[in-house]
Structure 1
Amino acid sequence: MNKEDSKTVKSLLSSPHKIVIIPHKNPDGDAIGSTLGLMHYLKNKGQQAVVIAPNDFPKFLKWMPGQEEIIIFENDKEVAEKYITEASIIFTLDFNHLSRVGFMQETLEAAEGTFIMIDHHQAPSDYAKVTYSDVHMSSTCEMVYNFIEAIEQDTSKITSKIANCLYTGIMTDTGSFKYSSTTSRTHRVVADLIDKGAENMAIHNKVFDTNSPSRLHILGCALKNMVILEDYHTAYITLSQEELDENEFKKGDTEGIVNYGLTLDNIIFAVIFIENKDEGIIKISFRSQGNFSVNEFARAHFEGGGHDNAAGGKSNVSLEETTAKFVALLDSYKDQLKG
């Protein structure tokens, strides 16, 4: 975060404000961790701060300090809209375009508060007065750590509640510190968070070792459906709405399943296609290893984007048509997929 932006934010926060903090739709560990971490920090500074999420988040994140205070827009629209309308400062975290909040977009576009963006995805839009964007960061949670450090000139204001929230987001967005975005700086940040009270072993347990039977059944179904295309060093998984319903799908049950494709030898491109009949789309997650940019692939063909090695997208045709389109595209990327 540059000095000019730090100065601007510090000046804004020097007086009391009504502040709302917004994550993206279908918030993950980084989105919830960063928004809650920032909420605790702002409250400790005497600000009125509330997190408003577009929709609900996975059960494995519902232990996090302050999570019970999160307002879910789709459940409490009138209350949420009142907070947003009255807010003088609006933080948007872990996304860089207002379309990423889904049905909240219109409300945010009409808001008169000062917007501050903290995000690490590519190609940020220009709606915010202050944009702290860095695509090289491991996570938005690491950026919130840097944000606090820049405002305070040290990290002494990071409490155990903040530390637990930020650790969770860094851990989940780095694949437990194995992705290339994990730098030596990331490890130094994590070490400081542990020193400040982040219960790292307990966090790993709560996030990864509290599976429901439905999640494991869905995982089994997904792995059974996996298709391996050796010529393209690619593996993809499909999950139909019928399969999700049969296995009593709950939000968060498909989180991380796409990564199993990359555990196969000689696979550098992994994809999962998940049918969502309520929204009339096929939700797609892309992962890669090495130099193959799934961000560019998703932007070019599936109305998506994200990071070079992790991105999302969608399709408005059937599951069968979507996978057929995907497979047909691979031949033009064969040279890039050699590894």
Structure 2
Amino acid sequence: MTEKDIQEITELLSSHKRIAITTHQFPDGDAMGSSLALYHYLKLRGHSASVVVPTYYPDFLHWMPGDEEVTNYMTHQHKALDLLEQAEILFCLDYDQPGRTKGLADAVENFEGSKILIDHHPNPGEFADYTLSVIEASSTAELIYEFILMLNDEALIDANIATCVYSGILTDTGSFSYGSTTYRAHYVAGEMIKAGADNLTIQNEIFNSNSEDRVRLMGYALSDRLTILTEFNTGYISLSIEDLARFNFQNGDTEGLVNYILSIKGISFAVLMLERDKSVKCSFRSIGQFPSNEVAREHFNGGGHTNASGGEHSGSLAEAEKLFRSVLPQYKKQLGR
């Protein structure tokens, strides 16, 4: 983002505007943290702001300040589209292509006002008027903090903004354990605590509020549905619709499950496959330099970061597993065998 861009955005936000904030399908902690942090900031600036999400998001994120103001396209389709149609400015957070917003994609693509993209994924699309893209950033939430600083509004950061930014950084760095955890990530997190974020409460809300069903599902997945492919230093878990129903699956119940596979000594690539209606949702994780996002992009209609990415397969769970196993040999050298 250039100095000229910042000046133009400053001018755009100098008077009251109707603003919509969007993020990717199946929003995670960073998607919701960055969206709600920006929402609170824009409200403090006197704008009419709204957060519109394409799909459901995990129950353990619904405690975040401002959550009650979020509009879900899946349950309120007309309202969601109306908010985008009426907006003068559209913020696109934590996604690199309009297609990542599922049912909102056409509205995002054809939006006639000013579009501002803030994201940390590699190779962002050229669909926005202004783009703040820093792939070295730990999270989009961290970039929301930087964006507020660019507009010389650090003094406006209150406990609500701080809580949301901290939550986004915490979740996208895996509690500050991933390779994306930089000095800057720690610094911004510290500044958010200084501004009023209660780090212990946030930690408990996100990681220590599991239902019994969720814990039992994770136990079942690890004991009965885990496959280790030693020759490729790879492991994967596949869960069918029946598996999920057995444990009363709720959105977010498998969050973090794929990371348990990576904790196994010698495993450098891990995948979680969830069977949904007519498709299979895939989460890819890796350690070191293995490009999980290349596998997601080339074979599962997805993308993301080197060590954390996602994709989807249009077909059955068995077909997704077969496809995954069939492509591994071409990555054998990179996987260290």
Letter in 2 for 1:290: G
Q: Match for residue 235 of structure 1?
A: 235
User: Distance in 2 between the 1:83 and 1:111 partners?
Assistant: 11
- C-alpha change, 1:56 and 1:322, in structure 2 (3 Å) is closer
**Unaligned residue ranges in structure 2 (runs of 5+):** none
Aligned to 2:217: 218
Secondary structure of 1:175's counterpart equals: coil
Residue of structure 1 equivalent to 2:155: 156
Counterpart of 2:178? Answer: 179
Partner of 1:20: helix, strand, or coil? strand
Structure 1 residue matching 2:90: 3-state secondary structure: strand
Q: Are residues 1:99 and 2:111 paired?
A: no
Q: Equivalent pairs: percent with the same residue?
A: 44
Q: How many angstroms does 1:267 deviate by?
A: 0.7
SS where residue 78 of structure 1 aligns? helix
Query: Is the deviation greater in 53-62 or in 142-151?
Result: 53-62
Structure 2: distance between partners of 1:49 and 1:150: 20
Report what 1:111 is aligned to. 111
CA distance in structure 1 between the partners assigned to 2:327 and 2:78 by the alignment: 44
Output the TM-score relative to the length of structure 1. 0.97
Give 1:60's aligned residue. 60
**1:177-199 deviation per Cα after TM superposition (whole angstroms, max 9, x unaligned):** 11111111111111100000010
Q: How far is the alpha carbon of 1:128 from its aligned partner? A: 0.6
The 2-side partners of 1:76 and 1:204 are apart by 30
Between the aligned partners of 1:297 and 1:71, the Cα distance in structure 2 is 32
Q: State the SS of the aligned residue for 1:329.
A: helix
**Which residue identity lines up with residue 155 of structure 2 in the other structure?**
S
Equivalent-residue separation in structure 2 for 1:283 and 1:316 (angstroms): 9
Distance in 2, Cα, partners of 1:5 & 1:297: 35
Distance in 1 (CA, whole Å) between partners of 2:320 and 2:80 is 36
1:310-321 correspondence runs (5 A): 310-321=308-319
Q: Report the alpha carbon displacement of residue 173 of structure 1 after superposing the two structures with TM.
A: 0.3
What SS does the corresponding residue of 2:274 show, helix, strand or coil?
strand
SS in 2 for 1:258: helix
Match of 1:330 in 2: 328
Pairs within 5 Å for 1:41-56: 41-56=41-56
* Distance in 2, Cα, partners of 1:226 & 1:165: 34
Write the distance in 2 (CA, Å) between the matches of 1:17 and 1:76.
23
3-state SS of paired residue (2:142)? helix
The secondary structure found in structure 2 opposite 1:116 is strand
Matches within 5 A, 1:130-145: 130-145=130-145
Aligned to 2:85: 85
One-letter identity of the residue aligned with 1:261: I
For the pair 1:288 / 2:297, whether they are aligned, the reply is: no
Moved more, 244-253 or 318-327: 318-327
Q: Which one-letter code corresponds to 1:311 in the other structure?
A: S
**TM-score calculated relative to the size of structure 2:** 0.97
Partner of 1:202: 201
1:13 maps to 13
CA distance in 2, matches of 1:90, 1:162: 19
Deviation at 1:80, TM superposition (A): 1.9
Specify the SS of the correspondent of 1:176: coil
Letter in 1 for 2:255: E
Which SS does the other structure have where 2:155 is aligned? coil
Structure 1 residue 127, shift from structure 2 partner? 1.2
- Give how far 1:76 is off: 1.5
Q: Deviations over 1:26-80 (max 9, x none)?
A: 1110010000000100110111111111122211011111111111122122222
List structure 1 segments (4+ residues) > 4 angstroms apart after TM superposition. Answer: none
| Equivalent position amino acid for 1:324 in 2 | K
- CA RMSD of the aligned region, Å? 1.2
- What letter corresponds to residue 305 of structure 1 in structure 2? G
Tell me the secondary structure at the aligned position of residue 338 of structure 1. Answer: coil
Find the aligned partners of 1:70 and 1:190 in 2 and give their Cα distance. 24
Give the Cα separation in 1 of the matches to 2:269 and 2:78.
Answer: 43
Q: How far off its partner does 1:135 sit?
A: 1.3
Report the AA paired with residue 7 of structure 2: K
| Shift of residue 2, structure 1, vs aligned partner | 3.4
SS at match of 1:50: strand
Could you list the runs of 5+ residues in structure 1 that have no partner in the other structure?
A: none
Q: CA deviation at 1:108?
A: 2.4
Give the Cα separation in 2 of the matches to 1:72 and 1:272.
Answer: 25
Partner of 1:169: 168
Which residue matches 2:244?
244
AA at the equivalent of 2:83: Y
Deviation at 1:155, TM superposition (A): 2.0
Q: 2:122 maps to which residue?
A: 122
